[in-house]
Amino acid sequence: MTDLTERTVPVVTTGDPPPPRFRVPAPVRSIARHAALSLLALVMLYPVIWMVVSSLRPDAEIFRSPGIVLDSLRVANYGTGWNALTSPFGHYLVNSAIVVLGCIIGNLVSCSMAAYAFARLEFTGRRLFFALMLGTIMLPIHVIIVPQYIMFSQLGWVNTFLPLIVPKLLATDAFFVFLMVQFIRGLPRDLDEAARIDGAGHPRIFLRVILPLMLPALATTTIFTFIWTWNDFFSQLIYLTDPEMYTVPVALRSFVDSTVATSWGAMFAMSVVSLLPIFLAFLVGQRYLIKGIATTGIK
């Protein structure tokens, strides 16, 4: 693929018109495509469906009756699960929501700023800092967490949401910095050149030109931060020791103890409940994913 290195976008034609070939009528193809996609969706969703079904079964039936055919409907698990721990489950949902909100704001602001610098600005040490940024995501959390815990505990931050949120405000989530760098570099330079000729400085270019154009990247960041923070177990487990501060994943695990009977029905019910916010977030967020350049009509 030699054309990849060319500066212009290659729209290459073969010269010859495409050979005539038999085409399946459009409606048939469409139905076939829907059928295939639906089947795939069903297979992929089977475990999720099983979980929802199990949340409606009595505990004792969950592992004794396989399959997803429901012969009795038992919503009692939802009530039991909601009140199974020392606080109502809503308490943990609120805690998670606070952490998620803080992390989203932190990531959106700090990562986009850092990404703009890496993608568009020339500065001393850029090479080194970029490598450092990538390097920070290469160490597994399990060896970082003990020194970090000691540090935060010296600051008196244990059992607050600060150890979970403040790092995000400081762009420590290199995944999103790198993601945004790649997106910004995909944007045509002519746009910021034009703005610069009009006398715009970097803050203005960043806010008025780049940010609106990287909406898909920002939406991606928001959705992922939401989902990953919502699901993150280990750091929340370590930093939040007081049950009053527990978040959803920590609370959910408190249902399960492998040595005694677990209230599986209640656990699945609360898993379904905790899945709803991120699913809704995805449903809403995905609309912004598709509002990229292609639909704003630039270029």
Partner 1 sequence: MSALGEFRRLGTTRSGPRRKRDNKAAYLFLLPWFGGLLLITAGPVVASFVLGFTDYNLIQPPEFNGLANVRRMVADERLHQALGVTFGYVLGSVPLQLAAALALAMLLDRGLRGLAFYRSAFYLPSLLGSSVAIAVLWRQIFGAEGLFNRALDLVGVSGRGWISDPDTALSTLIVLNVWTFGAPMVIFLAGLRQIPAMYYEAASVDGANRWTQFRRITLPLLSPIIFFNVVLQIIHAFQSFTQAFVVSGGTGGPSDSTLFYTLYLYQRGFHNFDMGYASALAWLLLLIIAGFTALNFWAAKRWVFYDD
Partner 2 sequence: MHTPLTRRSVLALAIGAGAGAALAACGGGGGDAGGDISGDPVTLRFTWWGSDARHKRTQQVIDLFTKANPTITVKGEFKEWNGYWDSLATTVAANDAPDIIQMDELYLSSYAERGALLDLGTAAKHLSTADFDAGALDTGKVDGKQYAIPTGLAAYAIVVNTDLLSRYRVALPDDATWTWDDLKRVGAQVSKAGGGTVTGVQSWGFDSGGVNIWARQAGASLYDDEGNVAVPPAVLASFWQYLLDLTKQGIAPPPSVTVERAGGALDQSGTATNTSAFGTWWNTQLTSLAEASGQNLKLLRQPGEARAATPGAYYKPSMFWSVSARSAHPAEAALFVNFLANAPEAGEVLLTDRGVPANTRVRAAITPKLTATDKAAAEYLGALKTGPAPRVTPKGASGIEAILKRHTEGVLFERQTPQQAAAAFIKELQAEIDAA
- Nearest-approach distance from CB 268 to partner 1, in angstroms: 6
Q: Cα separations (Å) of 119 from 93, 111, 184?
A: 37, 12, 6
- Which contacts (CB < 8 Å, 24+ apart) does range 74-83 have? 74/265, 76/265, 77/263, 77/265, 77/266, 77/268, 77/269, 78/269, 78/273, 80/263, 80/265, 80/266, 80/269, 81/255, 81/263, 81/265, 81/266, 81/267, 81/269, 81/270, 81/273, 82/269, 82/270, 82/273
Torsion of CA 257, 261, 264, 266, to 10 degrees: -90
Applying CB under 8 A, among 148, 160, 172, 231 the residue interacting with partner 2 is 148
Query: What residues between 51 and 80 interact with partner 2 by CB under 8 A?
Result: 59-60, 62-64
- Nearest-approach distance from CB 34 to partner 1, in angstroms: 7
Which lies closer to partner 1 via its Cβ, residue 24 or residue 139?
A: 139
Among partner 1, partner 2, none, the one that 18 touches (CB under a kind-dependent 5 to 8 A) is: partner 1
Query: What residues between 217 and 236 interact with partner 2 by CB under 8 A?
Result: 233-234
Among partner 2, partner 1, none, the one that 153 touches (CB under a kind-dependent 5 to 8 A) is: partner 2
The reply to whether 262 sits near partner 2 by the rule CB under 8 A is yes
Total of chain residues touching partner 2, rule CB under 8 A: 39
Applying CB under 8 A, among 146, 170, 280, 290 the residue interacting with partner 2 is 146
Which lies closer to partner 2 via its Cβ, residue 137 or residue 155?
A: 155
The reply to whether 143 sits near partner 2 by the rule CB under 8 A is no
Which lies closer to partner 1 via its Cβ, residue 184 or residue 245?
A: 184
- Residue in the structure block whose two tokens are 């699901």: 231
Per-residue interface string for the shown chain with partner 2, residues 103-122, x marking contact by CB under 8 A: --------------------
Among partner 2, partner 1, none, the one that 158 touches (CB under a kind-dependent 5 to 8 A) is: partner 2
What's the rounded Cα separation, in Å, for the pair 132 and 138? Answer: 10
- Nearest-approach distance from CB 272 to partner 2, in angstroms: 17
135 with 200: CB under 8 angstroms?
no
Which of the stretches 18-26, 32-40, 145-153, 184-192 binds partner 2 when contact is defined by CB under 8 A? 145-153
Which lies closer to partner 1 via its Cβ, residue 1 or residue 73?
A: 1
Q: Cα separations (Å) of 101 from 78, 175, 178?
A: 26, 18, 21
What's the rounded Cα separation, in Å, for the pair 151 and 148? Answer: 5
Among partner 2, partner 1, none, the one that 58 touches (CB under a kind-dependent 5 to 8 A) is: none
Among partner 1, partner 2, none, the one that 284 touches (CB under a kind-dependent 5 to 8 A) is: none
What's the rounded Cα separation, in Å, for the pair 104 and 76? Answer: 34
Q: Cα separations (Å) of 223 from 84, 117, 233, 298?
A: 29, 23, 18, 25
3-state secondary structure at position 211: helix
- Tell me which residues touch partner 2 (CB under 8 A): 59-60, 62-64, 84-86, 145-151, 153-154, 158, 233-234, 237-238, 241-243, 250, 253-264, 266
